[in-house]
């Protein structure tokens, strides 16, 4: 009886082992997302089923004057530039293009669309990039539009009424919507009022664009930042007037020297803040 009991126990163990081995060898593959960088990574999955969902990036826009938030309005003379000139800001519009995003896995994604910020339209205060290959660690962009992409009538159907709001007068001083000559589109419009040397209030238009056919757009080098799903592009208005130093003028659209000053100052205008 003792031998039979031992024999029975051995049979039971062998049976259990065989069953485990059988189910182990017949275990089916599990389909799912196997990319560690994806939002829906499945640690149990063994075969990638192309269901991976990647991170979105929210690009916010913010505008400051030496760290102070802008309170928009023609009569809010809250700011002064390096020359001591007091001024207000009523509206800000600008465009960025040729944007590239850099990722942790060394991928680079380039975007063809232009991105338009308009302080009068809250819908333009942020832009969302969808289905990206991971968390973003860097961004490169052009302030304005390159000569190749700044063509009269090219953006008539662009969102947010971009064409009508940012049209740049051509060499005849006419709207490019009717005459196809030198012109294209503004890179930026900052409008408001300032107090001149005689204490008088005057309107100003800090506008940049292709002057006399010259391309004043700026392709910024890559901004590096910690891996992020949300970033804010910050523009400091006062840095447009500093290094080289120049002052506010009523209108500068045909002023090649001021356009050159703005071009040279632009490298210090933008910064990026990250949010996790």
pLDDT one digit per residue (tens) for the chain, 276 residues? 444 555 565 565 566 655 555 555 455 789 998 887 777 888 889 898 877 777 899 999 999 999 999 999 999 999 999 999 999 999 999 999 999 999 988 999 999 999 999 999 999 999 999 989 888 999 999 999 999 999 888 999 999 999 999 998 765 444 444 444 457 899 999 999 999 999 999 999 999 998 887 899 999 999 999 999 999 999 999 999 999 999 999 989 889 999 999 999 998 999 999 875
d(CA 248, CA 203): 10
Extended beta strands in the chain, E state:
31-32, 47-48, 55-65, 68-69, 79-80, 86-87, 91-103, 108-111, 115-118, 126-132, 136-143, 188-195, 201-208, 218-219, 223-228, 230-236, 270-275
Q: Are 79 and 65 in contact (CB under 8 A)?
A: yes
Question: H/E element holding 23?
Answer: helix 2-25
pLDDT of residue 173: 46
Q: Is 171 left (phi over 0), alpha (psi -120 to 50) or beta?
A: alpha
SS3 263: helix
In order of 15, 71, 87, 261, the CA distances from 77 in angstroms are 88, 10, 5, 24
b/e string for 135-161 if b means 16 or more Cβ within 10 A?
Answer: bbbbbbbbbbbeeebbebeebeebebe
Q: Are 158 and 108 in contact (CB under 8 A)?
A: no
| Domain layout of the chain by residue ranges | 2-48, 55-275
Instruction: Measure the N-to-C terminal CA separation of the chain; round to a whole number of Å.
Output: 71
Helix residue ranges, H only, 26-115: none
pLDDT of residue 103: 94
pLDDT of residue 19: 55
Residue 227 CB coordination number (10 Å): 14
pLDDT of residue 177: 44
Q: Are 128 and 195 in contact (CB under 8 A)?
A: no
pLDDT of residue 105: 85
């Amino acid at each position: 009886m003792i031998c039979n009991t031992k024999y029975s126990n051995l049979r039971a163990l062998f049976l259990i082992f065989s069953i485990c081995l059988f189910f182990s060898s017949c275990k089916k593959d599990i389909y799912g997302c196997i990319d560690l960088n994806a939002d829906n990574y499945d640690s149990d999955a063994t075969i990638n089923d192309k269901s991976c969902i990647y991170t979105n990036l929210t690009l916010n826009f913010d505008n400051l004057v030496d760290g102070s938030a802008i309170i928009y309005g023609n009569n809010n003379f809250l700011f002064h530039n390096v020359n001591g000139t007091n001024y207000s800001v009523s509206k800000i519009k600008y465009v960025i293009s040729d944007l590239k995003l850099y990722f942790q896995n060394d991928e680079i994604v380039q975007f063809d669309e232009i991105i338009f910020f308009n302080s009068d339209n809250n819908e333009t205060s942020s832009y969302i990039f969808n289905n990206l290959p991971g968390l973003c660690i860097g961004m490169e962009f052009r302030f304005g539009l390159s000569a190749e992409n700044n063509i009269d009538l090219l953006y008539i159907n662009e969102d947010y009424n971009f064409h009508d709001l940012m049209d740049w007068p051509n060499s005849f001083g006419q709207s490019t919507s009717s005459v196809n000559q030198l012109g294209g589109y503004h890179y930026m419009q900052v409008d408001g009022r300032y107090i001149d040397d005689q204490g008088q209030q005057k309107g100003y238009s800090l506008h940049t664009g292709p002057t006399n056919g010259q391309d004043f757009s700026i392709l910024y080098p890559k901004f590096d930042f910690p891996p992020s799903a949300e970033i804010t592009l910050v523009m400091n208005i006062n840095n447009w007037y500093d290094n080289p130093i120049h002052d506010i003028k009523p209108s500068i659209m045909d002023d090649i020297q001021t356009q050159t000053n703005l071009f040279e100052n632009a490298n210090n205008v933008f910064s990026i803040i990250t949010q996790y």
